[in-house]
Amino acid sequence: MLPSFFDSMVALIARTSTDLPPDVRKAMAAALRTEAPATRAGQALTIIAQNIDQAASCEGPICQDTGMPTFEIKVPVGANQIWMAGTIREAVAEATRRGKLRPNSVDSITGENSGNNLGPGTPILHFAQWEEDAIEVKLILKGGGCENTNAQYALPADLDHLGRADRSLDGVRKCILHAVWKAQGKGCAPGAVGVCIGGDRTSGYLHAKEQLFRTLDDSNPDPRLAAIEEAVMDAANQLTVGPMGFGGRTSLIGCKIGALNRLPASFFVSIAYDCWAFRRLGVVLDARSGAIRSWLYREGDAPSVPMLTPEQLAAGFPRTGREIKLRAPITEDQIRALNVGDVVLISGPMFTGRDAVHAHLMKHEPPVDLRGGVLYHCGPVVAKSERDGGSGWTVTAAGPTTSIREEPYQAEILKRYGVRVVIGKGGMGAQTLAGLNESGAVYLNAVGGAAQFYARCIDRVSGVSLMEFGTPEAMWHLEVTDFPAIVTMDAHGRSLHKDIEQASAAKLENARA
The contact set with ligand SF4 (CB under 6 A) reads 63, 65, 67, 143-146, 187-188, 275, 277, 399, 448-449
The H-assigned helical ranges of 237-368 are 310-315, 332-336, 355-361
Based on CB atoms, which residue is closest to ligand SF4, 244 or 283? Answer: 244
Length of the chain (residues): 513
Based on CB atoms, which residue is closest to ligand SF4, 144 or 316? Answer: 144
* Cα 34 to Cα 228, 236, 243, 500, distances in angstroms: 23, 15, 11, 19
What is the closest distance, in whole angstroms, from the C-beta atom of residue 398 to ligand SF4 in the complex? Answer: 11
Based on CB atoms, which residue is closest to ligand SF4, 146 or 236? Answer: 146
Based on CB atoms, which residue is closest to ligand SF4, 366 or 448? Answer: 448
What is the closest distance, in whole angstroms, from the C-beta atom of residue 67 to ligand SF4 in the complex? Answer: 6
Q: Could you tell me how far CA 388 lies from the centroid of its own chain?
A: 33
What is the closest distance, in whole angstroms, from the C-beta atom of residue 24 to ligand SF4 in the complex? Answer: 12
What is the closest distance, in whole angstroms, from the C-beta atom of residue 211 to ligand SF4 in the complex? Answer: 17
Phi, psi of 23 (to 5 degrees): -65, -35
- In 232-364, beta strands by DSSP E: 252-260, 268-274, 279-286, 292-296, 324-327, 343-352
What is the closest distance, in whole angstroms, from the C-beta atom of residue 9 to ligand SF4 in the complex? Answer: 21
Q: Can you tell me the distance from the alpha carbon of 302 to that of 305, in angstroms, rounded to the nearest whole number? A: 9
What is the closest distance, in whole angstroms, from the C-beta atom of residue 189 to ligand SF4 in the complex? Answer: 9
CB 99 within 8 Å of CB 394: no
The residue nearest ligand SF4 at its CB is 143
What is the closest distance, in whole angstroms, from the C-beta atom of residue 64 to ligand SF4 in the complex? Answer: 7
Question: Interior CA angle at 186 toward 185 and 187, to 5°?
Answer: 95
Q: Can you tell me the distance from the alpha carbon of 246 to that of 46, in angstroms, rounded to the nearest whole number? A: 14
Q: Can you tell me the distance from the alpha carbon of 255 to that of 271, in angstroms, rounded to the nearest whole number? A: 10
Based on CB atoms, which residue is closest to ligand SF4, 87 or 445? Answer: 445
Phi, psi of 122 (to 5 degrees): -130, 125
Neighbours of 125 (CB within 10 A): 17
What is the closest distance, in whole angstroms, from the C-beta atom of residue 453 to ligand SF4 in the complex? Answer: 12
Based on CB atoms, which residue is closest to ligand SF4, 100 or 174? Answer: 100
Neighbours of 334 (CB within 10 A): 18
Based on CB atoms, which residue is closest to ligand SF4, 75 or 474? Answer: 474
Based on CB atoms, which residue is closest to ligand SF4, 413 or 451? Answer: 451
CB 228 within 8 Å of CB 173: yes
